[in-house]
């Protein structure tokens, strides 16, 4: 009996989907737009995260050592910093590397190069470039470097300067931009999801409104709640499947043609070109399952709630 009723419910749901062609088309159109908007959150979230990572990667603090500092002491300091939980990476630049970079940078300035050659020794200093896991952690790292154990070896100072305090205002401003962007994106995501659910629910409610008399008649002749609701739930799931398919097909031309317009911080990176189409292709399985899951869930739940109001007669 159970399987017989299940088959009838599925059959009735499929028939209702195709019989009410105009209503189904309207519901699918609205749900497709809704799912496209929800799916766009994946792209905007990825773009925002990529942009914020670019900003984070451009922030660091530099530790400059005195010219008499031994390389072994500098490397020991590097190992100590790498052991801090706040530190992501520490890059070491020796005195010779700093000199080579300086000469390359001023290769067209012969006067500067000649003045450098007249010196008896390399005047440039070894340095460490420190990148934290979060921009808010730079102050703690700088405070650590101010400590006596960090500033000296055998009571002899080896650190000449830490540039965090000169750049503190810029780093704090950048931290604020990143935090505000993440909060703003979260609020917009929540708002869009709520609006999408309401639009989908109201659209399916209007679609089921035309069948309200049929629902009441079925209840009057003794049909159970699930037997009444089942076909509409199946139809709602079909709305979700077709709408998700339409949204996925729409993503392809949009990511190919208009992708560059959606990258607000493309100037941050000279080596990385944003490619939404490549992101869509490489993350297709995640986007596919998310879109279909959201579409089917929206369709089923909206249909279930919409038809429930007409069951009590």
**Residue ranges per domain, the chain?**
2-55+173-308, 67-157
Contact (Cβ atoms closer than 8 angstroms) between residue 21 and residue 207 = no
Q: Where are the alpha helices (DSSP H) in the chain?
A: 2-19, 21-57, 71-82, 95-105, 110-117, 138-146, 148-151, 168-209, 212-220, 225-257, 276-282, 284-308
pLDDT of residue 266: 45
The pLDDT assigned to 138 comes to 83
Cα–Cα distance for residue pair 172/165, rounded to 1 Å: 11
Query: What is the reported pLDDT for 287?
Result: 84
pLDDT in tens, the chain (313 residues): 556 667 776 777 667 767 777 777 878 888 888 888 777 777 777 777 776 677 667 778 888 888 778 888 888 888 888 888 888 889 998 888 887 887 777 777 777 667 667 666 777 788 888 888 887 788 888 888 877 455 655 666 778 888 877 777 777 777 777 677 777 777 877 787 777 777 777 777 776 776 777 777 776 766 666 777 788 888 888 888 999 999 888 888 877 776 555 444 444 444 345 566 777 777 788 888 888 998 888 888 888 887 777 666 4
Under 8 Å between Cβ of 52 and 264: no
- Single out the residue of 144, 3, 178 nearest to residue 61, CA to CA: 144
pTM as predicted: 0.58
Q: Per the structure block, which two tokens stand in for 283?
A: 């993350």
Q: What's the CA gap between 162 and 89, in Å, rounded?
A: 16
Q: How far apart are CA 217 and CA 214, in angstroms?
A: 5
Q: Name the CATH architecture for the domain at 67-157.
A: 2-Layer Sandwich (3.30)
Given CA atoms 135, 136, 140, 146 in this order, what sign does their dihedral have? positive
């Amino acid at each position: 009996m159970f399987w017989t009723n299940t088959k009838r419910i599925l059959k009735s749901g499929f028939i209702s989907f195709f019989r009410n062609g105009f209503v189904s088309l309207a519901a699918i159109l609205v749900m497709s737009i809704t799912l496209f908007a929800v799916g766009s959150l994946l792209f905007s979230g990825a773009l925002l995260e990529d942009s914020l990572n670019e900003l984070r990667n451009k922030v660091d603090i530099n530790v400059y050592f005195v010219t008499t500092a031994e390389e072994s002491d500098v490397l020991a300091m590097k190992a100590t910093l790498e052991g801090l939980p706040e530190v992501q990476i520490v890059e070491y630049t020796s005195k010779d590397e700093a000199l080579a970079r300086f000469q390359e940078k001023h290769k067209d300035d012969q006067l500067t190069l000649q003045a450098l050659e007249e010196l008896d020794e390399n005047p440039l200093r070894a340095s460490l470039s420190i990148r934290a896991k979060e921009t808010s952690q730079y102050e703690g790292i700088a405070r650590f470097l101010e400590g006596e154990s960090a500033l000296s070896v055998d009571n002899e100072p080896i650190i000449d300067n830490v540039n965090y305090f000169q750049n503190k205002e810029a780093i704090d401003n950048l931290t604020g931009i990143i935090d505000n962007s993440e909060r703003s994106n979260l609020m917009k995501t929540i708002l869009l999801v709520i609006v999408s659910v309401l639009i989908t629910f109201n659209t399916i409610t209007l679609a089921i409104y035309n069948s309200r008399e049929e629902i009441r008649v079925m209840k009057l002749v003794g049909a159970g709640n699930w037997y009444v609701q089942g076909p509409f739930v199946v139809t709602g799931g079909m709305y979700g499947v077709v709408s998700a398919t339409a949204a996925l097909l729409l993503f392809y031309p949009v990511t190919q043609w208009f992708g560059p317009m959606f990258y607000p911080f493309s100037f941050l990176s000279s080596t990385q070109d944003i490619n939404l189409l490549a992101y869509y292709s490489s993350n297709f399985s995640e986007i596919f399952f998310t879109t279909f899951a959201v579409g089917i869930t929206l369709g089923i739940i909206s249909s279930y709630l919409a038809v429930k109001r007409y069951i009590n007669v």
